[in-house]
Amino acid sequence: MDNLHNASAHLQELDARHHLHPFTDSPALSRRGARVITKADGVYLWDAEGNQFLDGMAGLWCVNVGYGRREILDAVAAQMQQLPYYNTFFQTTHPPVVELSAKIAELTPEGLNRVFFCSSGSEANDTVLRMVRHYWASVGEPSKTVVISRENAYHGSTMAGASLGGMKPMHKQGGLPIEGIEHIMQPHWFLHGDDLSEADVGVKAAQALEDKILAIGADKVAAFIAEPVQGAGGVIVPPSNYWPLIQEICSKYNVLLVADEVICGFGRTGNWFGCNTFDIKPDLMAIAKGLSSGYLPIGGVVVSDRVADGLDAGGDFNHGYTYSGHPACAAAALANIEILQSEKIVEKVAKTTAPYLQKKLSEFASHPNVGQVRGVGMLGALQLVPGSEGKKSFYKPDETGVSCREHCLANGLVMRAVDDAMILSPPLVISETQIDELCEKALKSIEQTFA
Ligand code: PXG
């Protein structure tokens, strides 16, 4: 144990000296030392000191098939030997990227048949921004350039991604958002519902889109972008009337609808895509994360035939990445999808494990410190509140979520805190027994937080 502890301390010291972490207060992290994760298997992680954790977040919402899947390793190794790299510029292609494009076209909703590849969700959304503007220019409406998004949305960390996103702390740094992006209210009943019903919040949040389109002028609005369920914002499942209204407004004003499926895609909501779960008919879809279960970095933008035809009319689309359709990443994605399909993982989630998880989570609703339980498929949020009389109207975010997260870790569970909401997005292969373990640990941690 001492040796393990010393090895871990050494890595922490080097990490503090040389590694800049994402979304991190570096001096604070240096003082406590980063958690050193050294291995993983199934739904479990281990740190350098030998502690085991149930990964309630599937890494960062991405390890859908769980850790340690030999099939993905073998597929990547074989591809690395055959052709470790080649590009898809200058009229070339290669077998894994062709196969993956066809597979994605087969899985995505009807009418979405062509894919532009990149390496992350942020790059996918940068591509979305350039693509929708180029589309409208190509079909003779170059004034349609503005993209409408939502407050508290997360669409990535690049300049376009963070601008499309609606995270205020991100906008405060680096002169964001960039021009031509507007934000409207999110359909978050718990935070913004006041005395309204969920359905009323659905109408109000959708009406905000129509109002914004009218204020800007429909002839200037290129697209509306949204996550089917907001993930990083706090697992915000919209009221059931929200998406049908949004769909109607987008078609009424000829505004492209972009579904950011980076978290919701590849089984997370109990269907292949969030668009299936909420019956959304998008013009473009951003994908990443679950596409390869995070084994290698790959993302993409899937476009409808209408958008593809429009882009075709515009000649060269002057956009692309060295690693667009990287062969080893495409091989990882293909092997990952093969596992999802052959083991019927999405079907199992829909029929068995997601209903079980949601039932277990709903039991938290009677807890005096849980103000709201949100969830769909393998996504969940337990909104912590100070006490029974503070259930909704007295809610003010504080450090409770961070404290609960620390208790979770001490109890061997990784949960993410978004303000005071405790978030779950476990690997899709989690079993019912492991869901029991997860919920027991979460309950114990919540009890300790408020003790
Ligand atoms: N869109 C959505 C909906 C996302 O959730 C991105 C785009 C950007 O993807 P990349 O691959 O560029 O990170 C994301 C990413 C968190 C957290 O703490 C969430 C994400 C990334 C990192 C942290 O919840 N989502």
The average pLDDT across 373-402 equals 83
Q: Are residues 62 and 116 in the same domain?
A: no
Would the CB of 127 count as within 6 Å of ligand 1? no
Write down the mean pLDDT value for the chain.
96
Q: Are residues 186 and 306 in the same domain?
A: yes
Q: Are residues 329 and 380 in the same domain?
A: no
Mutation probe of ligand 1 site: the residue of 57, 61, 415 with most atoms within 8 A of C-beta = 61
Q: Are residues 264 and 362 in the same domain?
A: no
Please name the residue that has the structure tokens 């999802």: 340
Give, for 147, the enclosing helix (H) or strand (E).
Answer: strand 146-150
Please determine, for residue 399, whether its predicted confidence score (pLDDT) is greater than 90. no
Q: How far is the CA of 325 from the centre of ligand 1 (A)?
A: 20
**What is the per-residue pLDDT for 272?**
98
Whether residue 3 is contained in a domain is answered as: no
Q: Are residues 221 and 238 in the same domain?
A: yes
- The protein residue whose alpha carbon is closest to atom 5 in ligand 1 is 263
Q: Are residues 188 and 281 in the same domain?
A: yes
What CATH number should be reported for the domain holding residue 372? 3.90.1150.10
Question: Which among 127, 98, 130 has a CA at the least distance from the CA of 114?
Answer: 98
Least confident window among 87-91, 168-172, 271-275, 394-398: 394-398
Would the CB of 231 count as within 6 Å of ligand 1? yes
Q: Are residues 183 and 248 in the same domain?
A: yes
Please determine, for residue 393, whether its predicted confidence score (pLDDT) is greater than 60. no
List Cα–Cα distances, 65 to 8, 290, 335, 423, 424, in angstroms.
28, 8, 11, 19, 16
What CATH number should be reported for the domain holding residue 320? 3.40.640.10
List Cα–Cα distances, 413 to 54, 248, 406, in angstroms.
5, 42, 9
Please determine, for residue 392, whether its predicted confidence score (pLDDT) is greater than 80. no
Mutation probe of ligand 1 site: the residue of 154, 167, 260, 323 with most atoms within 8 A of C-beta = 154
pLDDT class for 3, splitting at 50, 70, 90?
confident
Give 183-211 pLDDT, tens digit per residue.
999 999 998 887 899 999 999 999 999 99
Would the CB of 260 count as within 6 Å of ligand 1? yes
Would the CB of 156 count as within 6 Å of ligand 1? yes
Whether residue 146 is contained in a domain is answered as: yes
Q: Are residues 221 and 315 in the same domain?
A: yes
* Host domain of residue 92: 71-342
Q: Are residues 165 and 230 in the same domain?
A: yes
Q: Which atom of ligand 1 is nearest to the CA of 423?
A: 24
Q: Are residues 50 and 162 in the same domain?
A: no
Whether residue 159 is contained in a domain is answered as: yes
Higher pLDDT, 17 or 393: 17
Please determine, for residue 396, whether its predicted confidence score (pLDDT) is greater than 90. no
Whether residue 30 is contained in a domain is answered as: no
Q: How far is the CA of 81 from the centre of ligand 1 (A)?
A: 31
Q: How far is the CA of 287 from the centre of ligand 1 (A)?
A: 11
Q: Are residues 163 and 53 in the same domain?
A: no
Would the CB of 422 count as within 6 Å of ligand 1? no
Would the CB of 193 count as within 6 Å of ligand 1? no
Residue 328 phi/psi, 5-degree rounding, is -70, -35
Q: How far is the CA of 62 from the centre of ligand 1 (A)?
A: 9
Q: Are residues 58 and 107 in the same domain?
A: no
Q: Among the three residues 322, 342, 362, which one is the final residue of a domain in this structure?
A: 342
Whether residue 295 is contained in a domain is answered as: yes
Whether residue 47 is contained in a domain is answered as: yes
Which one-letter amino acid corresponds to residue 205?
A
Q: What is the 8-class DSSP label of residue 236? A: B
Dihedral of alpha carbons 179, 184, 188, 191, sign: positive
Number of structural domains (the chain) is: 2
Q: How far is the CA of 156 from the centre of ligand 1 (A)?
A: 5
Whether residue 411 is contained in a domain is answered as: yes
Question: Which among 216, 127, 125, 193 has a CA at the least distance from the CA of 165?
Answer: 125
Question: Which among 310, 243, 285 has a CA at the least distance from the CA of 108?
Answer: 285
Q: How far is the CA of 149 from the centre of ligand 1 (A)?
A: 15
Would the CB of 185 count as within 6 Å of ligand 1? no
**What is the per-residue pLDDT for 193?**
82
Tokens of 195: 């005395």
Q: Among the three residues 342, 373, 393, which one is the final residue of a domain in this structure?
A: 342
Whether residue 420 is contained in a domain is answered as: yes
Q: Which atom of ligand 1 is nearest to the CA of 123?
A: 12
Q: Among the three residues 282, 307, 342, which one is the final residue of a domain in this structure?
A: 342
The string of DSSP letters for 172-221 reads: TTTT-SPTTEEEE----HHHH-TT--HHHHHHHHHHHHHHHHHHH-GGGE
Query: CA 108 to CA 302: how far, in whole Å?
Result: 8
